[in-house]
């Protein structure tokens, strides 16, 4: 029983890692640009397919494939900012509809390029870090955990310690005041979109060998990310990370001891309860409604 | 006189319409008619300013309810259809307690969560909802004759007439509601909520009323679909269907009664008939997505704004209409 609990805990840490990478990107984009990027799950999917194309089909080394995938998805983010979100800045539902349109385009490109079927990716490594006989952490999962820690720490440093980070946070807090201080809102939006998309991309690329890669995989990712950003408080990066960890633990444990559908119901119910009791989320500030 | 002529010609055109179509196009026509009711009921909800992502699941509630009423309780199909709508409306009243504590973006996400929970409950509980496979073998609408026409519900044409009559009657009711003082209050709740509240309007009650009416008609649309298709399952009411409804409403425009209907017809014909005929089966979502993006970029007020331009040019523009938009 203790071993089962420990193993489930490890699985939850892994889930928390990739969920927080996706959710933090979504929060960053929402914070700086004020748009809900419904295509964020498909950016995750694009990262996974980059690994399918480069690593599984063209035999590029895995980490090179991941790096290229991350950059590629970041560029997709820039494309979205330029083509969709910037022209639709003053249209509250516009960004939402446009991102749904972009989602459909990415999905059907994946279907046309790779087929509807699940992709098989040869495992990167079979090694497992063993704690006891029954408790172990596959190294492929460890990569995801390490990536989450490294990238999120780097993002934290970037936001709190660099001039660009200051500008980014300023324009998230009050775009007009930031613009008056000489901060280019377009520039900060571009940076936020690139970082946000690239984080989703790297999460997708690293988890590709561990999950079933298919054109519709983004759906469950975006639902999870929404739950997490609502529970954590829309616009709060720290909240998103803490909520990712909490959600991952609840979901993994309910899945292990009962079943996956029930875990989804529990997760959504938690989100509804937070919305009813404290709509600004557990860590959100009251003014950003 | 002119209105009567338009009415007669319109009726003849609607009755003759299915005979110019192939069998599969006739089937699409039936769905189109049902979807028109769905999207028009959705618009009533948006009048109060709230955009829901749970409307398709509410439609599913009507479908599941009507299917279960006929299957488990043996209720006569047309009666159970109405009961399905009533069930959806009652559930909406229940859901309004948690959901109307939220507004705007939070309502959007909250309604999505509530809908997903309902959908997952259908998926999880095999009794009575049938789990992932849903309910099949739902009683079809029993055949009947009205003297001049024999309804045979294995034929899509018959079901088109049947659903068409129900949908037109429902649209008429929705239209009357919108033009009644209640409908005007819905507008006030959206555009002048503080003023409306100060004038003694119970905002919460009116938002709940709009939600319940919209859900009732969505449930009726779901019941119409369930007894036509013969099966219901959780996946036929998922977020992808909701996305379609949302785009019909936005591409058509929601400022007028006919806007969402226009969006629904244009996009369905484009998606189901034009793109299919062109043999672009795989690329359909791609082209559909591109159309969504282009229309929101270049036609932000929807297709209805094109119609308005044409009709305005003919009749002199009224100044208060400009002030209102």
Q: Which of B235, B252, B287 is the last residue of a domain?
A: B235
| Binding-site residues on chain B for chain A (CB distance < 8 A) | 51, 98, 101-102, 104-106, 109-110, 112-114, 116-117, 120-121, 123-124, 239, 243, 246-247, 250, 282-286, 288-293, 296-297, 300
The tens digit of pLDDT for each residue in A250-284 reads 999 998 888 888 888 888 888 888 888 877 777 76
Q: What is the mean pLDDT of chain B?
A: 84
- Rounded Cα–Cα distance for residues B207 and B97 (Å): 11
The count of structural domains within chain B is: 2
Assess contact for B84 and B65: CB atoms under 8 A: yes
Q: Are residues B243 and B142 in the same domain?
A: no
**pLDDT surpassing 70 at residue B324:** no
Residue B187 lies in a domain: yes
Positive or negative CA dihedral for A130, A133, A138, A142? negative
Best of A108, A264, A267, A274 to mutate (most B CBs within 10 Å, chain B): A108
The count of domains in chain A is 1
Does B244 reside within a domain? yes
Query: Two tokens at B228?
Result: 């036509």
> What would the two tokens of residue A23 be?
């959710």
Whole-angstrom distance between the N-terminal and C-terminal Cα of chain A? 44
Place A287 in a pLDDT band, splitting at 50, 70 and 90.
Answer: very low
Chain A residues closer than 8 Å to B296 by CB: 88, 91, 94, 97-98, 101
- A104 vs B112, B113, B286: nearest CB: B286
Mean pLDDT score across all residues of chain A: 86
Q: Average pLDDT, stretch B268-288?
A: 78
Residue B83 domain flag: yes
Task: Please choose, from the candidates A198, A287, A284, A207, the residue with its C-alpha nearest in 3D space to the C-alpha of residue A242.
Answer: A284
- DSSP, residue by residue, A224-247: HHHHHHHHH-TT-HHHHHHHHHHH
Tell me if residue A128 falls in helix, strand or coil.
Answer: strand
Sort out which chain B residues have CB atoms less than 8 A from A223's CB and list them: 116
Whether residue B87 lies inside any domain: the answer is: yes
Quick one: B27 and B145 in the same domain? yes
Query: For residue A177, what are its two tokens?
Result: 């005041």
B77 and B210 belong to one structural domain: yes
How confident is the model at residue B135, as a pLDDT? 87
Rounded Cα gap, residues B3 and A191, in angstroms: 58
Q: For residue B314, name the pLDDT band (cuts at 50, 70, 90).
A: low
- Chain A contacts of B246, Cβ < 8 Å? 97, 100
Write down which residue in B200, B215, B235 finishes a domain.
B235
Residue B31 domain-assigned? yes
Record: contact A93-B112, CB cut-off 8 A = no
CA distance B267 to B303: 11
pLDDT band at residue B222, thresholds of 50, 70 and 90? very high
B115 lies in the same domain as B178: yes
Position B180 in a domain:
yes
B238-275: per-residue pLDDT in tens? 888 888 898 888 888 888 888 899 989 988 888 877 77
Does one domain contain both B132 and B260? no
| Spatial distance between the Cα atoms of B242 and B220, rounded to a whole number of angstroms | 16
B44, B114, B64: which is closest to B225 by C-alpha? B64
Range of the domain at A51: 14-216
User: Are both B46 and B177 inside the same structural domain?
Assistant: yes
pLDDT of residue A284: 63
pLDDT digits (tens, 9 = 90+) for A117-146: 777 788 887 888 888 877 888 888 889 999
pLDDT of B198 reads 78
Look at strands A136-138 and A128-130 and give their pairing.
antiparallel
Comparing B91 with A211, the larger pLDDT belongs to: B91
By C-alpha distance, the chain B residue nearest A103 is: B289
Is B170 or B77 the better-scoring residue by pLDDT?
A: B170
Sign of CA dihedral B296, B301, B303, B306: negative
Residue A93 reports pLDDT greater than 50: yes
Residues B242 and B255 in one domain: yes
Q: Residue A31 has what pLDDT?
A: 84
> What is the Cα B237 distance to its own chain's centre?
13
How many angstroms from the chain centroid is the CA of residue A192?
Answer: 13
3-state helix, strand, coil in chain A (%, to 5): 75, 5, 25
In-domain check, residue A46: yes
Residues B218 and B252 in one domain: no
Instruction: Check whether residue B209 and residue B247 sit in a common domain.
Output: no
B203 and B252 in a single domain? The answer is no
ipTM exceeds 0.95: no
Total residues found in chain A within this entry: 289
Query: Which of B105, B106, B124 lies closest to A262 in CB terms?
Result: B124
HSE-up (13 A, CA, CB side) for residue B86: 7
Identify the helix (H) or strand (E) that includes residue B169.
Answer: helix B156-179
- Tell if the CB–CB gap between B247 and A93 is shorter than 8 Å: no
The answer on B167 and B278 residing in a single domain is no
Question: How does residue A75 score in pLDDT terms, banded at 50, 70 and 90?
Answer: very high
> Per-residue pLDDT averaged across A88-113, rounded?
86
How many Å lie between the alpha carbon of B52 and the closest alpha carbon of chain A?
Answer: 12
B4: in domain: no
Residue range of the domain that includes B53: 22-235
Q: Are the CB atoms for A19 and A226 separated by under 8 Å?
A: no
Q: Where a domain ends, among B220, B235, B250?
A: B235
pLDDT at A45: 94
Give the nearest chain A residue to B95 (CA atoms). Answer: A272
Taking CA–CA distances from B292, the nearest residue in chain A reads A101
Nearest by CB to B286, from A108, A268, A275: name it.
A108
Is B12 part of a structural domain of the chain? no
Distance between CA atoms of A227 and A205, rounded to whole angstroms?
22
Say whether pLDDT at A286 is over 60.
Answer: no
Q: A with B: how many residue pairs have Cβ under 8 Å apart? A: 109
- Tell me whether residue A90 is in a domain: yes
């Amino acid at each position: 029983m203790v071993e089962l609990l420990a193993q489930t805990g490890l699985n939850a840490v892994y889930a928390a890692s990739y969920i927080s990478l996706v959710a933090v990107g979504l929060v960053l984009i929402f914070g700086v640009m004020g748009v809900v990027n419904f295509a964020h799950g498909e950016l995750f999917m694009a990262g996974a397919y980059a690994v399918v194309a480069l690593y599984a089909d063209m035999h590029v080394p895995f980490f090179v494939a991941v790096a290229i995938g991350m950059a590629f998805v970041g560029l997709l983010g820039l494309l979205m900012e330029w083509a969709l979100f910037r022209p639709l800045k003053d249209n509250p539902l516009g960004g939402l509809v446009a991102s749904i349109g972009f989602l459909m385009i990415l999905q059907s490109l994946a279907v046309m390029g790779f087929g509807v079927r699940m992709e098989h990716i040869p495992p990167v490594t079979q090694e497992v870090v063993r704690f006891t006989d029954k408790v172990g952490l596959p190294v492929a999962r460890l990569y995801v955990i390490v990536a989450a820690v490294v990238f999120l720490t780097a993002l934290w440093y970037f936001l709190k310690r660099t001039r660009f980070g200051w500008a980014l946070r300023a324009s998230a807090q009050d775009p007009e005041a930031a613009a008056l201080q000489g901060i280019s809102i377009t520039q900060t939006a571009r940076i936020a979109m690139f970082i946000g998309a690239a984080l989703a991309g790297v999460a997708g690329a690293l988890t590709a060998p561990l999950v079933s890669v298919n054109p519709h995989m983004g759906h469950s990712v975006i639902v999870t990310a929404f739950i997490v950003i609502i529970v954590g408080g829309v616009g709060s990066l720290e909240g998103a990370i803490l909520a990712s960890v909490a959600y991952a633990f609840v979901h993994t444990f309910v899945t292990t001891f009962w079943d996956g559908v029930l875990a989804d119901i529990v997760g959504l119910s938690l989100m509804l309860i937070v919305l009813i009791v404290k709509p600004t989320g557990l860590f959100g500030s009251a003014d950003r409604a | 006189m002119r209105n009567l002529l338009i009415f007669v010609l319109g009726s003849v055109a609607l009755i003759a319409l299915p005979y110019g179509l192939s069998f599969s196009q006739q089937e699409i026509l039936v769905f189109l008619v049902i979807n028109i009711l769905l999207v028009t009921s959705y618009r009533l909800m948006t009048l109060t300013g709230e955009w829901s992502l749970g409307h398709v699941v509410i439609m599913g509630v009507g479908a599941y309810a009507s299917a279960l009423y006929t299957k488990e309780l043996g209720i006569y199909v047309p009666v159970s259809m109405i009961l399905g709508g009533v069930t959806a409306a009652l559930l909406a009243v229940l859901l309004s307690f948690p959901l109307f504590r939220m507004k705007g973006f939070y309502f959007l996400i909250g309604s999505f969560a509530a809908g997903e929970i309902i959908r997952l409950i259908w998926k999880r509980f095999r009794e009575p909802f049938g789990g992932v496979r849903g309910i099949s073998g739902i009683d079809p609408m029993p055949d009947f004759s009205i003297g001049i026409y024999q309804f045979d519900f294995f034929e899509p044409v018959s079901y088109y007439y049947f659903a068409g009559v129900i949908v037109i009657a429902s649209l008429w009711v929705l239209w009357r509601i919108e033009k009644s003082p209640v409908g005007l209050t819905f507008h006030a709740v959206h555009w002048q909520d503080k003023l409306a509240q100060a004038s003694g309007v119970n905002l919460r009650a009116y938002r709940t009323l709009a939600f319940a009416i919209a859900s009732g008609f969505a449930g009726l649309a779901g019941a119409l679909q369930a007894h036509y298709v013969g099966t219901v399952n959780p996946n036929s009411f998922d977020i992808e269907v909701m996305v379609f409804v949302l785009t019909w409403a936005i591409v058509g425009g929601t400022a007028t009664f006919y806007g969402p209907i226009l969006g629904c017809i244009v996009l369905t014909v484009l998606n189901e008939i034009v793109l299919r005929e062109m043999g672009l089966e795989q690329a359909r979502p791609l082209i559909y997505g591109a159309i969504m993006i282009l229309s929101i970029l270049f036609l932000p007020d929807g297709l209805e704004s094109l119609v308005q331009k044409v009709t305005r040019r003919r009749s002199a523009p009224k100044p208060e209409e400009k002030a209102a938009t």
